[in-house]
Amino acid sequence: MLNYSVIGTGAIGGFYGGRLAHAGRAVRFLLHSDYEYVKQYGLRVDSCDGDFVLPQVEAYNNVEDMPQSDVILVALKSVNNHDLLPKLLRPLIHEDTTVVLIQNGIGLEEDLQSVFPGLHIVAGLAFICCAKEGPGHIHHQDFGPINLGNYSCPDGRFKTLLSDMQDAGLKAAQVPYLEARWKKAVWNMPFNGMTVALNTSTDKLLNTPATRQLIYDQMLEVIGAAQALGVSTLTSEFADQMMTTTDRMVPYSPSMKLDFDNGRPMEIEYLYSRPIAEARKAGFEMPKLAMLEAELRFIGESDIWA
């Protein structure tokens, strides 16, 4: 049976790691600000799919104290990938470790593989509305499926990982790696940045005709970029589907908006700069999203909403 570690026990890491632990898997959680609270009181998840509490959690506040792991779920913000993430992973990795990057963006796996050439890497694409309500308290509001794209993991290990997640009651599915990353970008690139640039939420963007059209146009830019990079299965029908899905969502502030509101760095590099650059290499320009990237960089370096 595989053992797991969660690096980044916020809303996303706490939810998926919590579901695995609730199903009986051995899961270790790395925590910081709420370490003492979770160590004493456990982890609580209020979920639209059914609430649960883990009264006893294998919690750590120092990665050096954690045993090596078969599978590491990384739910850190990608702004930490260049400096912090390799330092956190090194003590936990053995020769057969698999790392699942439950992060947003393009190019994440390629960059991590360059640091750890022998590491087994899987992309984790979470489709979930989830937030941290307080110490050791996660609120799962809507959705919850997670798609797994195999980047460099042996088939046997990948199938066991997928089975573990499904056994934990998660809607987990195997998807082609590159297609999965760009599919997630179809939603992430328009909504994350636009909620910050216009200081709003997803529902308001879609309820206003002008911004609804802009969101859709941005989605088509992402799809065009993906097609230029060889993802022929991604078409405008997926944009239509994402618009309908978001119409049905509860009013929501994406992760970038929450980061900005709380004074945290925004994930501009992997969510915007990298996909725009990759598309340009393939001869495809993303003008509306390039403009949004510039706006986000300006906002991130100023006090425009202060």
- What's the distance, CA 19 to chain centroid? 16
Please indicate, yes or no, if residue 270 is contained in any of the structural domains: yes
Task: Say if residue 125's pLDDT is above 70.
Answer: yes
What are the tens digits of pLDDT across the range 46-84? 999 999 999 999 999 999 999 999 999 999 999 999 999
Question: What is the residue range of 73's domain?
Answer: 3-175
What are the tens digits of pLDDT across the range 87-112? 999 999 999 999 999 999 999 999 99
What is the average per-residue pLDDT within 113-135?
Answer: 94
221 and 239: one domain?
yes
192 token code pair:
């994350």
103 and 242: one domain?
no
Phi, psi of 72, deg, nearest 5:
-120, 120
52 and 200: one domain?
no
Task: Say if residue 305's pLDDT is above 70.
Answer: no
73 and 126: one domain?
yes
Percent of all residues in the chain with a pLDDT value above 90, rounded to a whole number? 93
Task: Say if residues 134 and 111 touch (Cβ distance below 8 Å).
Answer: no
21 and 126: one domain?
yes
Active site residues: 184
What are the tens digits of pLDDT across the range 139-184? 998 889 999 999 999 999 999 999 999 999 999 999 999 999 999 9
Give this prediction's pTM.
0.93
118 and 131: one domain?
yes
How many domains is the chain partitioned into structurally?
A: 2
